[in-house]
Structure 1
Amino acid sequence: MTTENTQRLDCNAHAERSYSAMHRLAATAAESAKQAGLESALLELVRIRASQINGCVFCIDIHSIDARTAGETEQRIYALSAWEEAPFFTERERAALEFTEAVTLVHDGHIPDDVFQRTQKVFGDEQLSHLLFVIVAINGYNRLAIAQRRVPGNYKPSA
């Protein structure tokens, strides 16, 4: 790990088409998820949780700001890393967070059938499919940001 606060690579400058494709994937996944009935606040919780697991401070910063903008409380954002112990997450949020952890930690026993079935029961196939794409996109962004050593602290949410 490093404490260096300088970006070491700018993929957007050197691999603009690929970076643009990644951005389109994430934007399409988010837009489709919302159209399928997934709440903005829930999607931000998922993005923060995956970013916490992956250790991506750049994405934690962005999605914590976006979560607050979407009306999320400080209490719930702070408790997210211990969501299983916290009483203020809904069944729907718990299912999404459990699924997020299983997908993000896929190397650790794949996605257990019981986790998948619980999540599928809460969301149904359509919403679950959209949720999965949001999780895949944030995991991709986490890896890009970590590899580039993207520096947090300058993000301003769009209007």
Structure 2
Amino acid sequence: MPDRIKLASQAPAAIQAMMGLESYLGSTDIPLSLKELIKLRASMINGCAYCIQMHAEVAMKMQESPQRLLALAAWRESPRFDARERAVLALTDEVTLIAGQGVTEHTYRQAQQLLGDALLAQCLMQIITINAWNRVAVATQMEHDCR
């Protein structure tokens, strides 16, 4: 593969701005396990191997079960996710695939009902941010150290 630019060295202010989002997200009320489910699901949809590797490792360190991590690829058919996780995963799918149908009223209202406005806003920012990181990693062909 040809070498691609490193955005951290070519556009450090942009990466610093994204790190500001990460700082904000670190202060939210989103449970850590739910953050990792959001990050993994969006990364799976976006085909971002770098982020899948990174967030699967984080989730496993947080004692997330391998069965749930594997079931994330087919979360709609899996009984391993509760109603709130399902609402957030549906929101993650629709925001990540926004060009398809946008975010449906059903998905939005379900998430709002189960999360409330504040947590819904925080989850939306988590989804938006991981999608941005996925695009950085895929566009620049970032590779996660697998050693």
Give the shorter-chain TM-score range: over 0.9
Give me the whole-angstrom Cα distance separating, in 2, the residues matched to 1:43 and 1:71.
14
The equivalent residue for 1:19 is 15
Relative to the length of structure 2, the TM-score reads 0.95
How far does residue 27 in structure 1 lie from its aligned partner after superposition?
2.7
Unaligned runs of 5+ in 1: none
Is the contact made by 2:33 and 2:62 (CA closer than 8 Å) also made in structure 1? yes
Deviations 1:107-159 (A, max 9, x none): 0111000000001010000000000001010000000001110012359xxxx
Is the contact made by 1:7 and 1:151 (CA closer than 8 Å) also made in structure 2? no
The equivalent residue for 1:32 is 27
Higher RCO by CA contacts (8 Å cutoff, separation 6 or greater): 1
Is the contact made by 2:96 and 2:127 (CA closer than 8 Å) also made in structure 1? yes
1:146 corresponds to 2:124: no
| Larger proportion of helix | 2
Deviating beyond 2 angstroms after TM superposition, the runs of 4 or more aligned structure 1 residues are none
1:131 corresponds to 2:127: no
RMSD of aligned alpha carbons: 1.4
Unaligned runs of 5+ in 2: none
Relative to the length of structure 1, the TM-score reads 0.88
Give me the whole-angstrom Cα distance separating, in 1, the residues matched to 2:34 and 2:18.
21
The equivalent residue for 2:5 is 9
Give me the whole-angstrom Cα distance separating, in 2, the residues matched to 1:141 and 1:128.
20
Paired residues, number = 147
